[in-house]
Structure 1
Amino acid sequence: MTMNEIRNFCIIAHIDHGKSTLADRLLEITETVSERDQKEQVLDNMDLERERGITIKSHAIQMDYKQNGKKYTLNLIDTPGHVDFSYEVSRSIAACEGALLIVDATQGIQAQTISNLYLAMENDLEIIPVMNKMDMPNAMPEEVREQIIDLIGCEEDDIIEASGKTGLGVQKILEAIVEKVPSPTGDTKAPLQALIFDSEFNSFRGIIAYIRVINGEIHKGDKVKFVNTGKEYTADEIGVLRLIQEPRKVLRTGDVGYIISGIKTSSEVKVGDTVTHLERPCEKAIEGFEEVKPMVYAGIYPIDAEDYEDLRASIEKLQLNDASLTFEPESSLALGFGFRCGFLGMLHMEIIQERLDREFDMSVITTVPNVMYIAHTKKGDTFEMHNPSDMPGPNELDYIEEPYIKAQIITRADFIGQVMTLCLSKRGVLKNQHYLTSDRVELTFELPLGEIVFDFYDKLKSISKGYASFDYYTIGYRNANLIKLDILLNGESVDALSTLIHFDNAYSFGRRMCEKLKELIPRQQFDIAIQAAIGAKVIARETVKAVRKDVTAKCYGGDITRKRKLLEKQKKGKKRMKQVGNVEVPQKAFLAVLKLD
């Protein structure tokens, strides 16, 4: 097989635009999947992916295709569609020469399609536009065709009309891939240079790294080195990615395949790293590698304190599959021992929680998620704050910086007002407003990441009746006027409920927290004072009244002082009880804080 007969391509699409279904049809027509193995969404092999209709883990698969008597090898590198996994998408794109741009004919272009398309254009990929779901009765081919032409400036004839469900146009897509996508370029005689674009954990074989050979070739048994981690291994097995892995003796320039070298810890294999030979290394690593940094942090605690060690084992196993999850032990007065975990975003956090529940049967409490802030002290030191309790005292603290994002929101023109109001209420700044068509507009905002962590996405969907699409990327840290808001129960601080919040929002947030907790905390034998405080200053208070017995029931008639005496006696008893009693905060209260609005 020469390089001229290889085509490496990926699929770019927004969530639910039908790329997994279209991938199924490509595998069917090229007879990569036998009828016995055929099922819906072959490449989405996690139950969660099938239920939610999203691709979480990127996949790669090789297909054979004959055209005009010539045999071609097509490598499809599938990409995740959600914004939390955008770094994985960028590495998958870097391993390709072409991309299928799939746009849903019933919905038109969405925010993620645009951001992934820009990534593909930066990497000089050949774009093949495909209009999917043409069999749907509510398809709008004319409108969507105009949107695609405006976006990438192609000719009308270049757009392929297709349907993943019926198989319409799939043959045309395969022909376009062979004709338009350039074959790989690279030097087979140069030192080995291969890009790791994904990895997965196998409990018997260790970590399997998926690679694309850019230059040179790799043989079974070669001594290799991972450039960015500096680790050295032996290539115990190499091969190509069919529906199952097929071992090969050699992988040459342009090939996409896998390498197994008995690695047991996921942190040693980083997506975006470069593989080269130990004896004859390449001069420089492939550009674009970066350490994946978690953006959202939350505490995960076992509901039963005895499950702490089981939870640790479960999170460690999950980390083998998902190197972007970070965790460290922490303890809380209210919740006992648990872990502070770092996630790429809110969807990533939800998926980890769901997987802990399903795969390991762990019931957990998750604290209020927050982002990473950078604190600068008056002595000139800087450190990262993952938890409100890390915040230094006011006499040491100089200023705090918080992460900012650039958000692209595409919505129907009818909803511009509501979307702007939402973003401005989250301390957003409008940077750009661009009409894609007469009734679709792209808004660009700069927002603090901490403001969109909770419920921004849900609110955006509800005010736009599900039409708005949202994508973001981080643009660095900026100064912020943040303070620590504590919640006190009978004067005791509940550390799991404390948050870092912008000064302007502190009063209203504290007021709402107290009201919500008053509803949720059950009444005790004594009064419970719920207070929101900034430092020593209390800004809001609610009281949960005590459950009282009617001690004056047996006093009928007679002097008022008899009643007073009984009430005073009761009051003393309540006071004594308050000193020894402690308040249990129910699990519902922690969850309610997340859904305050």
Structure 2
Amino acid sequence: MTDLAHIRNFSIVAHIDHGKSTLADRLIQETGTVKDRDMKEQLLDAMDIERERGITIKANTVRIDYRADDGQDYVLNLIDTPGHVDFAYEVSRSMRAVEGSLLVVDSTQGVEAQTLANVYQAIDADHEIVPVLNKIDLPASDCDRVAEQIEDVIGIDASGAIQVSAKTGQGIHETLEAIVTQLPAPAGDRDAPLKAMLVDSWYDAYLGVIVLVRVMDGVLKKGDRVRMMSNGSLHHVDRIGVFRPQMETIGELGPGEIGFLTASIKQVRDTSVGDTITHEKKGATEPLPGFHPSVPVVFCGLFPVDSAEFEDLRDAIEKLALNDASFSYEMETSAALGFGFRCGFLGLLHLEVIRDRIEREYGIDLITTAPSVIYHIYMRDGTMRELHNPADMPDLTHVDHLEEPRIRATILVPDDYLGDVLKLCQDRRGIQETLTYAGSRAMVVYDLPLNEVVFDFYDRLKSVTKGYASFDYQLTGYRADNLVKMQILVNDEPVDALSVMVHRDRAEMRGRAMVEKLKDLIPRHMFKIPIQAAIGGKVIARETLSALRKDVTAKCYGGDATRKRKLLEKQKAGKKKMRQFGKVDIPQEAFISALKMDS
């Protein structure tokens, strides 16, 4: 049992690539938590895809024992959080489980968009924040300028910011001392009824569901009967432990401690994140304030290239959903692609990560349809429906108006590229809210339609600013706009996988680009194929793919011209009939390439 005054719970927050995971590695190494021979880079990033992309996707915890300069022994519980906007949900959960944060800022880059977003989450959770300036070993490092920027942009006193190089280990001892002296100890009552917050849960093939908890009040022991307060389910605790980063079983978890429990739970669905765990008898009456549930922002269809692999795909998706509470799915069928799933994600990076994991961990080749967002359709009879897939759009005669989701985007960009960024946002139907300066960098806030952002806004932003812009957004609500459903017809047949929602003013440009692209992607057939973009019954763009021609007059030499004409007329009639009954095969690449456009 550890005295509350000697526990410190903290998380590390920062923008992408500012060195969170490397700093966590050094703190673990400095305190001897992991032996040098077992040490590796990004120790807490367990997934292959995290190590490969060099990003953190899941928040991970580790318990560190540290003897401070005052001779006292302290227990430090560290949570390493992701930096990407798509995984901000992981960050918000981790914040609620701890009392303080280390704010890591790259001393060469300064404050970025995601730095702001993550700091505001920490401030919302009432955290004590210790600024840390990382990468001081680099020649471009400028600590005074960055400290000033932290004070200007975020409003935190950075005069005592710790200067660190997580790569070389310089300043790590000072960081540990600051954690012990500047961050508050947790509060909690050992004798009160048990209240433990469920921070995360994931599936393990041997142990069943592993539940990460932060005990607020009371004591959790092995053998206890516990109740989940949200659904009332009862479980018998098999083991209790902590991560050092390996699992280590212990006898009990007291107030202020973070650890895990297993209780032969079969499904992660039974453990909702943010739930309160209490004892079956003499339990708590009021649950802890939970987290806001995560809301999927981007939807797309996932279909197996080989339809025989559908069952394998179902299996893979169910297993991934066990580990990822923010990923949702339901079955759907498509005339062009067969059986598949309509999945909801927190953003495009989340979509890419899930898709990569299915292809890599389960060996299934996938087709991904166009990402779309949820639209609200207000019918003439006063009801409101949610539209997840443009192909399901109801008859327009019954529709009163459509609303689309809007976001508030914060973009930090060097002054030289500001014009390009403003033009990009303007092209995407953005409304400028504010433009301020922090040093030589502009901070622009735009109101943008999410529909325009999910395609390739982030890629375009990075390319017009040579990678220097940083971008963060939050949903603000829905607003009506002049939106229409554009269909692509190939040989007069609508292709549902290529239906998209577009703004009426941009529909013609978008339709023309799509049919031109498809003309190059669809192979030629024995008959000519019209490719059209249409809104309702009105065709707005058309291209014709010419037919392959067989020379039927080759056998005629000399003689009467009417004989040649007769053969050509016969061929023409045959092609006409063929076009009526012929099936056009659209290759899989065409779907993906036709939707990647907008450049």
Tell me the TM-score normalised to structure 1 length.
0.97
Using the TM superposition, name which of 57-66 and 237-246 deviates more: 237-246
Structure 1 residue identity aligned to 2:337: L
Listed one character per residue, the Cα deviations across residues 62-95 of structure 1 (whole Å, up to 9, x for unaligned) are: 0000012110000001111111111221110111
**Superposition pairs of residues 1-150 of structure 1, within 5 angstroms:** 1-67=2-68, 68-150=70-152
Aligned length: 596
**Superposition pairs of residues 492-531 of structure 1, within 5 angstroms:** 492-531=493-532
Distance in 1 separating the partners of 2:319 and 2:97:
28
**Superposition pairs of residues 214-229 of structure 1, within 5 angstroms:** 214-229=216-231
**Superposition pairs of residues 410-449 of structure 1, within 5 angstroms:** 410-437=412-439, 439-449=440-450
Query: CA 1:157/1:378 → structure 2, altered by over 3 Å: closer, same or farther?
Result: closer
Please say if 1:173 is aligned against 2:175.
yes
Listed one character per residue, the Cα deviations across residues 292-340 of structure 1 (whole Å, up to 9, x for unaligned) are: 2211111111111111111111111111121222111111111111111
Which residue matches 1:255?
A: 257
Distance in 2 separating the partners of 1:537 and 1:102:
55
What's the offset of the Cα at 1:196?
Answer: 1.6
Q: Secondary structure at the match of 1:225?
A: strand
Q: Secondary structure at the match of 1:36?
A: helix
Instruction: Provide the aligned C-alpha RMSD in A.
Output: 1.6
Listed one character per residue, the Cα deviations across residues 405-452 of structure 1 (whole Å, up to 9, x for unaligned) are: 111111111111111111111111111112111x11111111111110
Q: Secondary structure at the match of 1:402?
A: strand
Contact 1:105/1:134, CA 8 A, preserved across alignment: yes
Contact 2:34/2:244, CA 8 A, preserved across alignment: no
Please say if 1:490 is aligned against 2:487.
no
Listed one character per residue, the Cα deviations across residues 182-239 of structure 1 (whole Å, up to 9, x for unaligned) are: 0001222222222222222101111111111122222222222222333322222222
Which residue matches 1:185?
A: 187
**Superposition pairs of residues 274-289 of structure 1, within 5 angstroms:** 274-289=276-291
Q: Secondary structure at the match of 1:395?
A: helix
Using the TM superposition, name which of 318-327 and 67-76 deviates more: 318-327
Distance in 2 separating the partners of 1:540 and 1:523:
19
Using the TM superposition, name which of 374-383 and 403-412 deviates more: 374-383
- The percentage of counterpart residues that share the same residue type is 53
What's the offset of the Cα at 1:341?
Answer: 1.1
Q: Secondary structure at the match of 2:126?
A: coil
Which residue matches 1:388?
A: 390
**Superposition pairs of residues 267-306 of structure 1, within 5 angstroms:** 267-306=269-308
Query: CA 1:464/1:485 → structure 2, altered by over 3 Å: closer, same or farther?
Result: same
Distance in 1 separating the partners of 2:487 and 2:377:
18
Q: Secondary structure at the match of 2:397?
A: coil
Structure 2 residue identity aligned to 1:514: V
Using the TM superposition, name which of 192-201 and 61-70 deviates more: 192-201
What's the offset of the Cα at 1:356?
Answer: 0.8
Distance in 2 separating the partners of 1:152 and 1:296:
30
Structure 2 residue identity aligned to 1:24: D
Q: Secondary structure at the match of 1:86?
A: helix
What's the offset of the Cα at 1:562?
Answer: 4.2
Structure 2 residue identity aligned to 1:12: V
What's the offset of the Cα at 1:150?
Answer: 2.0
Contact 1:241/1:256, CA 8 A, preserved across alignment: no
- Which structure 1 residue ranges, 5 or more long, are not aligned? none
Which residue matches 2:541?
A: 540
What's the offset of the Cα at 1:536?
Answer: 1.2
What's the offset of the Cα at 1:567?
Answer: 2.1
Contact 1:368/1:593, CA 8 A, preserved across alignment: no
Query: CA 1:230/1:432 → structure 2, altered by over 3 Å: closer, same or farther?
Result: farther
Q: Secondary structure at the match of 2:289?
A: coil
Q: Secondary structure at the match of 2:484?
A: strand
What's the offset of the Cα at 1:130?
Answer: 0.7
Structure 1 residue identity aligned to 2:412: I
Distance in 2 separating the partners of 1:220 and 1:175:
33
Which residue matches 1:398?
A: 400
Listed one character per residue, the Cα deviations across residues 437-477 of structure 1 (whole Å, up to 9, x for unaligned) are: 1x111111111111100100000001011000011111122
Distance in 2 separating the partners of 1:532 and 1:220:
64
Distance in 2 separating the partners of 1:434 and 1:268:
46
Distance in 2 separating the partners of 1:443 and 1:171:
38
Distance in 2 separating the partners of 1:60 and 1:116:
18
What's the offset of the Cα at 1:381?
Answer: 2.3
Using the TM superposition, name which of 548-557 and 245-254 deviates more: 548-557
Query: CA 1:324/1:276 → structure 2, altered by over 3 Å: closer, same or farther?
Result: same
Distance in 2 separating the partners of 1:145 and 1:151:
10
Q: Secondary structure at the match of 1:342?
A: strand
Using the TM superposition, name which of 43-52 and 240-249 deviates more: 240-249
Q: Secondary structure at the match of 2:266?
A: coil
Contact 2:116/2:154, CA 8 A, preserved across alignment: no
Contact 1:88/1:197, CA 8 A, preserved across alignment: no
Which residue matches 2:370?
A: 368
**Superposition pairs of residues 443-458 of structure 1, within 5 angstroms:** 443-458=444-459
Structure 2 residue identity aligned to 1:261: A
Q: Secondary structure at the match of 2:12?
A: strand
Structure 1 residue identity aligned to 2:492: G
Tell me the TM-score normalised to structure 2 length.
0.97
What's the offset of the Cα at 1:348?
Answer: 0.7
